[in-house]
Every structure is written in C-alpha cells, then in structure tokens.
C-alpha cells in the first residue's frame, strides 16, 4: 500500500509554508489528499499558496495563517485555526526558519566570525529556528496525545553545517533543534505521537543561498532541488512510519525507484546510543 493513502484527510500544520521548501511540502501534501494549515509571516505568500492548492485539489483543503513562530500566542492561534477549520490535528512540520543571510549577505564567500554578527539578527535566528519549533510543538502536543496519534517532523541540517566556520548561529540553532527532538521523542514514547528529524543532505535551491543563476553553490557544492525532502516527508507523516521515533532521515538519500519502506531504510542515518557532537 502506498504510504500516501493514509494521508487522505490527515490534517497537517506546516510552518514557513509560504515559500521555498515549505511551499513544496504544502503542495505535495495537498496532492496526497491531506488538509493543510500553513503559517508564514507574509500574507501575500500565503494567498499565492492558497491559490495553487485550490487550483490543484479544489477548495476547503487549505488554511493560511499569518504568524510568527517565536510568538507563543501566534502558535496557539495557528492550532486554534486548524481545529476550527478541520476539526482535527494530526501532524506538525516544523519547517519555518531563517539562515545566515539574516546575519550577512556575504556569509557564503566571507563567513562572519561570531563576534562580528549583529546581536539582533543573531538572536532572531535562534528564536525562529529553535524557540519557534518548541512553541509549536508545545501547542500541538496536548491535542495529539489526547487523540493517541501524532507526527512531529523537525526540519534540520547536516551535522557539518552545525559546526561550520562562520555559520553561527544558524548551525547551533539546528543543533539545539536536534537535541530537543531526541528529548521530545522520549517524552512522547508510548503515546502514539512520534518525533523525527528530516534534513535535505546539502544546501537547497532556495532564498537561503545568495545570488542567482547557474553559479550559485552551497558549502557542499551544487544546490539540491527544493523538493528533495518531499517523498521522505510524506512517508514520515503516514502510517508507514509508526515504528520510527527519534530518528533522522536524509532527503537526498531517498531513492524514489524503491518501495517507500526500503527507501526510508536507506535514508535513515544510523543512531548512536549517545550523540557524537564533536
């Protein structure tokens, strides 16, 4: 059975769903039959995504909420709007984030040293990338636990990026998210709610990377397509992933020519008993 079949009528919140990877997630989920709430900071982006979803699958399948994930009340509002619109809440994709361009437009050619980073942009990255996922997970977890089912997927980055020179605080913000994910997975064990991490496996072709044209590169080379995690995300949010909790999947390792369970097995990163962080 295709993992997509269990996604029909499943209600999913995608943060940062107005552009980039989040927008691709929303469209993939709509195509799989899910109902989606997307949060974003820009109403015009949400309006564009709403139009795309309606054109693809018809009305009544999408709600857009203008919200800042670092605002606890805004996160609660996203959950309330979802329950009002769809009467249920099954999945959360913590995708919203900002990158090193918020610190320096030249970070990929002249990485800033940590003491050169302006304080407020530095703080913004930590609050949106680490505090925001906590606030969203905190808002959804009681509903999921009460229902005996839930999926939380946190979008992360490669371990090399977490400690790469000039990538403070983006790398550390994702390291914090990974540590929280491991703890949340243990806290939610035996509740029917799982927490897993999904990462592309390299820089993606989004606005996180400055510049334009064929010359754009990530720190690891050629940019990956923004859809690189779509197949893995659908599997993680489906019933097929029920046995998986507290693990990491790498989008670029997902082989779409394989059966989904086998593709997932090959995309899973081995998990040590104790995290090796240095």
Residues annotated as part of the active site: 170
In terms of phi and psi (left: phi > 0; alpha: psi -120 to 50; beta: otherwise), the region of 184 is alpha
Strand partners of residue 15? 39
Look up residue 274 and give its DSSP letter: S
Strand partners of residue 92? 13, 152
The tokens describing 91, both together, are 């999945």
CA distance to 2, 145, 193, per residue, from 241 (Å): 12, 17, 11
The tokens describing 17, both together, are 């769903």
Strand, helix or coil at 107? Answer: coil
Strand, helix or coil at 15? Answer: strand
Angle subtended at Cα 105 by Cα 101 and Cα 106, rounded to the nearest 5 degrees: 115
- 169 CB contacts (<8 Å, ≥6 apart)? 103, 114, 117, 122, 125, 126
190 half-sphere exposure, CB direction, 13 A CA radius? 0
Burial group, residue 45, by CB count within 10 angstroms (0-12, 13-18, 19+): buried
């Amino acid at each position: 059975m295709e993992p997509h079949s269990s996604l029909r009528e499943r209600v999913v919140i995608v943060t940062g769903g107005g552009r980039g990877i989040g927008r691709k997630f929303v469209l993939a989920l709509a195509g799989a039959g899910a109902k989606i709430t997307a949060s974003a900071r820009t109403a015009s982006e949400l309006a564009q995504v709403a139009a795309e979803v309606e054109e693809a699958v018809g009305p009544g399948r999408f709600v857009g909420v203008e919200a800042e994930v670092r605002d606890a009340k805004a996160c609660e509002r996203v959950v309330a709007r979802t329950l009002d619109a769809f009467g249920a809440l099954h999945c959360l994709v913590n995708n919203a984030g900002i990158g090193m361009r918020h610190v320096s437009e030249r970070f990929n050619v002249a990485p800033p040293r940590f003491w050169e980073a302006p304080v407020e942009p530095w703080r913004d990255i930590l609050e949106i990338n680490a505090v925001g996922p906590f606030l969203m997970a905190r808002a959804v977890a009681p509903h999921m636990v009460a229902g005996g089912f839930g999926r939380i997927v946190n979008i992360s980055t490669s371990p090399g990026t977490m400690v790469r020179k000039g990538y403070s605080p983006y790398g550390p913000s994702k390291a914090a998210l990974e540590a929280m994910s491991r703890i949340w997975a243990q806290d939610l064990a035996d509740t029917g709610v799982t927490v897993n991490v999904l990462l592309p496996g390299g820089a993606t072709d989004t606005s996180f990377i400055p510049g334009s044209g064929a010359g754009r590169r990530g720190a690891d080379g050629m940019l990956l397509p923004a859809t690189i995690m779509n197949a893995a995300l659908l599997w993680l949010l489906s019933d097929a992933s029920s046995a998986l909790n507290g693990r990491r999947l790498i989008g670029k390792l997902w082989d779409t020519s394989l059966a989904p369970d086998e593709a997932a097995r090959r995309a899973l990163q081995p998990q040590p008993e104790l995290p090796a962080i240095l």
